[in-house]
Structure 1
Amino acid sequence: MQASWRKALLYSSALCTGIGPLLYYLIQKGLTRAEYYQMALEQLHGHREALEALGSPLRVHCMPILSKDHLVDIADARLKIPVSGPKAEGCLLTRSTRSAPFQRWNLQEVILELKDGQQIPVFTHSEEGK
C-alpha cells in the first residue's frame, strides 16, 4: 500500500511539474496568434524609422504573461511586447478595440518605446476615414 501511494505522489508531482510550462507555452502561442498582436507587428515591420532605431535582425521576445501591462478583454486589448535589435531594445505598446465580441479588432495605436525613453509613434488610428 505504501509503495502505490509513493508512486501516485511521484506521478502526480511529475504531471504538475510538466503542466505549468506547457500551460505557459500555450498561452504565449495563443497571444502571438491573436489578431491584435499580429496587426501591431505588421505595423512595426512596415515602419522604417522604428526598424532603423532597433536595427536588423528584429527580435520579438516572449511577453511576461502575468504583467500588469497587459489587458485583454472582450472589447479592449493592450499589450507591451518586448522587441530588440542590434542597435536598441524596447517595447511595442499596442492598443486595439472592437465593438462587440466576435467582431474584427481595430488597431488604435502602436508606439515603440525604447529603453532610453525615446518613443516612436508607429501607428495611430485616424477617424477621418469613417
Structure 2
Amino acid sequence: MFSKTSYYQSALEHLRSHPEALEALGLPVNIHYLHLTDRFNFIDITDAQLKIPVSGSKAKGHLYVSSSRGAPFKRWNLQEVFLELRGGQQIPMFKSSEENSDDTKKE
C-alpha cells in the first residue's frame, strides 16, 4: 500500500539520486518493509510520516519521510527526507522551503 504513494516514491527517488547517502550505505541499496508497529509511522488524511528501513553493503539505517497535503484528495507535498544511519549520523536529503514562505505570508 505505502510503496505506491507519491511521497514514498519521491523519497526513494531522493535516496537513489543522493551521492552522499549512496556512498554512506554502499551499493546495492535495499529497501525493506515498513514496521507498521513502529510509532513513527503515521498516516492520516492530510499528514504522513514514514520510517523506511534501508541497507547497503556498508551500512544500515532508516529513511525518514514527512509529507502533507492541504486537504483530502489533494496532491501530497514532501516536507522532509533524511537518512539516519545506525550509528546516529544523519544525512539531510530534502527539506521543503514552504515553511519559510508561510511565515513570510503571515507577516
2:21 to 42, 50, 62: 50
CA–CA distance in 2 between the matches of 1:66 and 1:118?
Answer: 24
Task: Tell me which residue corresponds to 2:92.
Answer: 121
In the TM superposition, 1:46-125 aligns within 5 A as: 46-125=17-96
Give 2:50's aligned amino acid: L
Give the share of equivalent positions with the same residue, in percent. Answer: 54
TM-score by length of 2: 0.89
TM-score by length of 1: 0.74
TM-fit CA distance, 1:126: 1.6
Higher strand share: 2
Give 1:39's aligned amino acid: S
Q: What is the root-mean-square deviation of aligned Cα atoms in Å?
A: 1.4
Higher helix share: 1
Mark the runs of 5 or more structure 1 residues left unpaired by the alignment: 1-29
CA–CA distance in 1 between the matches of 2:14 and 2:72?
Answer: 24
CA–CA distance in 2 between the matches of 1:78 and 1:33?
Answer: 15
User: Which of structures 1 and 2 has the bigger CA Rg?
Assistant: 1
TM-fit CA distance, 1:66: 2.1
Task: Point out 4+ residue stretches in structure 1 off by more than 2 angstroms.
Answer: 127-130
Mark the runs of 5 or more structure 2 residues left unpaired by the alignment: 103-107
CA–CA distance in 2 between the matches of 1:108 and 1:31?
Answer: 17
Task: Tell me which residue corresponds to 1:39.
Answer: 10
Q: How many residues align?
A: 101
